[in-house]
Amino acid sequence: MAATYLVTGGAGFIGRHLCDELLRAGHKVRVIDGLVPQVHGDVEPSLPAGVEFLEGDLRDAGLVRRGLQGVDGVFHLAAEVGVGQSMYEIARYVGGNDLATAVLLENMIDEPGRRLVVASSMSVYGEGLYRTADGTRVGAVRRMAGEASGWDPVAPDGVPLVPVPTDETKQVDLASIYALTKYAQERACLITGAAYGIETVALRLFNVFGPGQALSNPYTGVLANFGARLLHGQPPIIFEDGQQQRDFVHVRDVARAFHLAMTSPAAAGHVVNIGSGRAYTIARVAELLADAMDVPELAPQFLGKARAGDIRHCFADIGKARDLLGYSPSGYLEDQVGELAAWIRAQDAQDRGEDAKRQLEARGLVA
């Protein structure tokens, strides 16, 4: 049955793909987006035809009330995104993520019949799940990162730990201001939803990639950062030794997961991982993209340094998404990177990776 949905942050990377997904299903879509210059530059948003667009800050209660009029559900994607930047633009991240969410929630409680699906992040886990050599689960891991001490976390007795897929029962460990704000977003939505009868689902997104990422924003996804460097004939910049592992999921799969979360009765009240279920080293990701862009000679530049707030390994167990949402990825990074490479080659983007690195180094956030 056709419905009307509000998508906050709907002019962003994931938001635009979600709008496409909803329109294809016959729904009406309204978007609120502040068009943050760091993400959007100075160009007009390229929203799909038929989307109703309201430009403005989500902290504007009047704007939010207009956006909520007559909608059947809300997808809350609006957020400041960037682990490194969050460590020095703290007020910006707390305001844009948590205060904005509070304003949205306050204006939803008078009409509680609508479902809310909020974009959370894998960053809330901190380090992913590990097991010891004998199979014992270890869910609370911190590391002393450095070339001398080793990049990988170890058990208290110094025994190496084995990274394994992270499920939703793994306790959170907030290693950055960004992670803190995303967890606050997630919990505020679930707490308010439980109190007021707003069916709420939180999706913990892993590393999202695909056409449409903001290549000139150095705080967006790692594949976009690598793409901007390769496009300008520069090698990808990789912190540590490149053997850290992440899970990469295509943006169209993420958009489909949001749609499923809005319509799946069993999902209400749950936190659900959305990823591919596969682990890739960052060095391998750089290699895959360079090959797809026909510049394999641009080998990565390994810095041998860690950023404050970064974790070593985290990749998704997607069993809960499969069981509750009927979700599974349509493909995997190695099959889909060619599409991304073709899109990147057609772009005119600035490479701001060095600028971002200098900002972090100037504040002592790289060691």
Known catalytic residues are 178
Tell me how far apart the alpha carbons of residues 350 and 20 are, in angstroms, rounded to a whole number: 27
Indicate the length of the chain as a whole number. Answer: 367
Q: Where are the alpha helices (DSSP H) in the chain?
A: 13-24, 37-40, 61-68, 83-86, 90-93, 100-106, 177-196, 222-231, 251-263, 282-292, 319-325, 333-345, 353-362
- CA distance readout (Å), 272 to 214, 310, 324, 327: 26, 22, 9, 11
- CA distance readout (Å), 190 to 84, 127, 361: 27, 23, 37
Tell me how far apart the alpha carbons of residues 144 and 225 are, in angstroms, rounded to a whole number: 26
Tell me how far apart the alpha carbons of residues 181 and 177 are, in angstroms, rounded to a whole number: 6
- CA torsion, ordered 138, 144, 147, 153, to nearest 10 deg: 0
> 104 exposed, middle or buried (CB, 10 Å; 0-12, 13-18, 19+)?
buried
Amino acid at 90: I
Distant-in-sequence, close-in-space partners of 183: CB < 8 Å, separation ≥ 6? 120, 124, 172, 174
